[in-house]
Chain A
Amino acid sequence: MPEPARQKPSQFQRSTPLGTVAAPGTYGRTDAGAPGVIFRERRDIALASVVCHRKRQEALSQALTESFGLDLPGPGRSATAGDLSLLFAGLDRWTAVSEGEDGPALLHRLAEALGDTAGLADQSHGLCVIEMRGPRILDVLAKGTAADMHPDAFPVGASIATGINHLAVHLWRQDEACVRITLLRSFARDLFEFLATMSLEYGYGVES
């Protein structure tokens, strides 16, 4: 694992998957008061995939606890300690999420801690995080995903991999009022356009 570059890539302008498509403003039905959904593209988050090596789950789990005070979350769950969260993402697979550092830094931190228990890859650019807040988010999501969005089935802290309108996504219920959708950046614009259309009847806002 190479050292993260010390120099910050300030000379390069960073683009985002949603770019100009998600222009700030309010849209759709407006006569019903506050918008039902607020969208925000989160580009200030570092993400990395953590794939456990064969027969190393215990070691991985231990390393996580020791280094970060994190319990390896089971299927459908997430775990958070400080600014680092670990989301269940699939068979042997988790996504590490951290606010306040960049991908290479996160990757480096993980590599130091986890050693050869897991294969790691920076996904900070490959994945797009769309944050949804507001009273109607579950109604909007139900128009796309066949997974049960009821609080009993998708409580705070839940982290599931599913599909929205033919696209593979990952849903993380961060708190009562917020669900984060993570998906491949190449499909992000398509998904956003879909979600926005499905939100028209509730009115929606886009924040930057």
Chain B
Amino acid sequence: MRIPCPLCGDRDSGEFTYLGDATVRRPPADETDLEPWFEFVYLRDNPKGWHKELWHHGQGCRAWVAVERDTLTHEVFGSQLARERAIAEDERA
């Protein structure tokens, strides 16, 4: 597989490590209810098809990259620095 790194360009997947679903959100720091934390850590949509997921370019620029990929065909649609996305969401919130 080739993973498109926004900084380094297309790279062999062997340079990356995989974490998983990039759409889950850590609850706010002051959230005291257990349930949202449980969902954040344990529950996944696990879609068959479009999936946004985190890859870490560890043998490369060390960026966390949010990659959009099809879990059935493995086709990759695009990627973004996870940080940029996090900042964008922060600003929207």
Contact = CB atoms under 8 A, between A and B. Distances in A.
Direct contact between the two chains A and B in their complex (CB within 8 A):
yes
Interface of A: 75-76, 89-91, 93, 146-147, 160-163, 167-169
Given A90-B60, A168-B58, A168-B59, A162 B11 contact: yes
Contacts of B61: 75, 89-91, 93, 161
B3 to A, nearest CB: 11
A161 B56 CA distance: 13
Contact of B62 (A90, A163, A167): A90
Given A146-B14, A168-B60, 16 more contacts: A75-B9, A76-B9, A89-B61, A90-B7, A90-B60, A90-B62, A93-B61, A146-B11, A147-B12, A160-B8, A160-B60, A161-B61, A162-B15, A162-B60, A167-B59, A169-B59
Interface of B: 7-9, 11-12, 14-15, 58-63, 81, 83
The list of the 6 closest CB pairs from A to B, nearest first, reads A163-B59, A146-B12, A90-B61, A91-B63, A75-B7, A168-B59
A196 B38 CA distance: 51
Contact of A90 (B9, B11, B12, B63): B63
A163 B63 contact: no
A162 B15 CA distance: 7
* Residue of B12, B60, B63 most packed against chain A (CB within 10 A): B60
Nearest to B63: A91
A147 B11 contact: yes
A76 B8 contact: yes
Given A76-B8, A91-B7, A91-B81, A161 B14 contact: no
A43 B62 CA distance: 26
Contacts of A75: 7-9, 61
A163 B14 contact: yes
A160 B8 CA distance: 8
B77 to A, nearest CB: 21
B9 A161 contact: no
Given A160-B8, A161-B8, A146 B15 contact: yes
A76 B57 CA distance: 14
B18 to A, nearest CB: 15
